Structure 1
Amino acid sequence: MSEPIQSDQFFNTRHEQVQHIELGKNKLAYFTTPYGEMNQDSIGYFHDPDNQTIIMLLADGMGGHSEGEKASKAVIQGIINELKNAKETGPIASIIEAIDAVHKKIQRNWNDAGTTLSVAEVNDKTVRFYSIGDSPALLLSSTGETLYQSNLHSPKDFALKSGLFAEKTIMQKEQDHYVSNVVGLDDYFVEVSPSLKLSKGDVVLISSDGLFDKNFTYQFALPNANYEETLQALLEQTALKSDQRHESLFDDTSFLFFQR
């Protein structure tokens, strides 16, 4: 007998502290909160116990676009709906096909909309990332070594990686919040990672850029410990500083955290 799907979505939400959910034998931490009154970040998760799959989703609506909150909501809602429909009719649908369907919906319904998207497809022993824009996707070892980091589709990240500017210079430039690839624009593209090995203690993290306070290197020191201790240590090294919301955040701030 098939086990029921578990999923949830959070739009324009204000969490005061980090939330936790048990998905089978695993736990997932998630959090989303606004910088001001409206939260243009949207997050969601989808757990298919039959296929031992957890899909983590995060979208950051473009702050310069009036429909950014609607776009981020549409992409999370649309992908989860596509995955639910695929579950009823057969194997889980291609995530890329689901993204493209939502992309076309955004273009049909809103003239001025765009959103980043970061997806982690976690299976029993592997993880694969799907990235559009500058919302980071990370695979970390139990001690904090970066095993995979998505490319951030923005002029600042390109300039840093190309060696055109030093990190300190990049952080001072006006282009800091420009994004060159978003769902809803004609020339968007999806960056897909290889299928990456997931070992015991490894951490999967997707977030909006607000979590890292302009930290380009994503270097962490983790205690090689359990879920609670690892999450606490990680958050202490971010703009959030703890599992509680505070008033010193500089942007909408969201993340989903999974530890094997």
Structure 2
Amino acid sequence: MQNDADPKRPESDHSEVANLPALNDTVEMDALDIPHIGAQEPIEIPSVTTVDCVNGIAAWLTMKSPSRETENEDSLGVISASSDQGILVVADGLGGHRGGKNASQALVKSLKKGLPVRKEPVEDRHILISKGLKVPLQSQTDQSEVDGLRSVILNRIEAANKRLIKSGAGSATTLALVELQGSKARTYHAGDSQILVMSQRGRIKYETVSHSPVGYALEAGVLSEQEAILHENRHLVSNVIGSRDMSIELGPWISLAARDTILLASDGLFDNLFAVEVVECIRKGSLEDGVHQLAEIAVKRMCSRIPNLPSKPDDLTILAYRRKPRST
């Protein structure tokens, strides 16, 4: 399968690649030497939407590829079940398949429809130790609710997968989903829409691996990140919602510290920016400004071809979440 809005990919010389900092280095954006590139006609970047969500804030934007007139096939959702439970989701309908937009929308709607809403948050339980310090205790119902939400998410994904197959339209979609439970998060994904979890200092706590030949080669060390992002077969995807062989990769629980950031995005972002660029844009400062800056750089890359830098026009969806500091 392929997930590509523009089948004519730029030629690249893999013997010469951009000299970028290591993935986990903490650097300033000036050190990345990102060119300020303008398209023939200015591309309007949508405004960023923000909302309070599960002990933090979420910010997002979505837009169609600047190189085509067809509709945006990406969909996203920010779904709160309670003040301390919710999910973030990005779905990218497969370009070249009939009904890509319908597939991504159907998946997000299925998740919204099935997520149980808890009207009252679980009462905090704690004990007091020396000098009145409160130590939180897990309530007896917490673990059952956590397991229950996982089951709901997986069941809704499976239901959407069955409906897409039954429709016979040949449509499919990727999935990048983050489940939020209090101060923890875990990922669910299928396809090449990626998820990054990072600290304010820029340390990557977790990163999903794209379900694609190039993604697996990158993870195995066969390709460098620079070689992978410029690879002619990067658009091929091996696992999607809407396939009889669909599988969901479930990540581990990740503890979130104050000001940690989670980023989910369609390949319109990760096919045009290196991971270190994404991290440096979004890890600190205003979440709204960071999302807008990522979109601005991605669109400029899409509209211009610079040697050794990626340039792949595609629909673009960016969804970021940042955990707020605990109030005192």
TM-score between both structures, scaled by the size of structure 2: 0.65
Q: Is the 8 A contact 1:213 1:239 kept in 2?
A: no
Match of 1:255 in 2: 318
Tell me, in whole angstroms, the C-alpha distance in 2 between the residues paired with 1:41 and 1:177: 16
Tell me, in whole angstroms, the C-alpha distance in 2 between the residues paired with 1:41 and 1:80: 16
Match of 1:62 in 2: 94
* CA shift for structure 1 position 231: 4.8
Secondary structure, aligned partner of 2:205: strand
1:114 and 2:172 correspond = yes
Match of 1:221 in 2: 280
Specify the code of the residue in structure 1 equivalent to 2:82. Answer: P
Match of 1:195 in 2: 253
Tell me, in whole angstroms, the C-alpha distance in 1 between the residues paired with 2:175 and 2:167: 18
Q: Is the 8 A contact 1:222 1:233 kept in 2?
A: yes
1:240 and 2:300 correspond = no
RMSD of the alignment, in Å?
2.9
Match of 1:49 in 2: 82
Secondary structure, aligned partner of 1:94: helix
Q: Higher Cα Rg: structure 1 or 2?
A: 2
Secondary structure, aligned partner of 1:188: coil
Q: Is the 8 A contact 2:164 2:171 kept in 1?
A: yes
Pair 1:173–1:27, CA change in 2 (3 A): closer
Secondary structure, aligned partner of 2:106: helix
Q: Is the 8 A contact 1:19 1:31 kept in 2?
A: yes
Tell me, in whole angstroms, the C-alpha distance in 1 between the residues paired with 2:85 and 2:248: 20
Match of 1:212 in 2: 270
Tell me, in whole angstroms, the C-alpha distance in 2 between the residues paired with 1:173 and 1:246: 16
Match of 1:81 in 2: 113
Match of 2:64 in 1: 34
Which of 84, 88, 101 aligns to 2:159? It is: 101
* CA shift for structure 1 position 166: 3.6
Q: Write the deviation string for residues 108-149 of structure 1: whole angstroms up to 9, x where unpaired.
A: 113311110011111211001101101011110011211000
Tell me, in whole angstroms, the C-alpha distance in 2 between the residues paired with 1:45 and 1:164: 36
Tell me, in whole angstroms, the C-alpha distance in 2 between the residues paired with 1:234 and 1:73: 22
Number of residue pairs matched? 240
Pair 1:101–1:197, CA change in 2 (3 A): same
Pair 1:110–1:18, CA change in 2 (3 A): farther
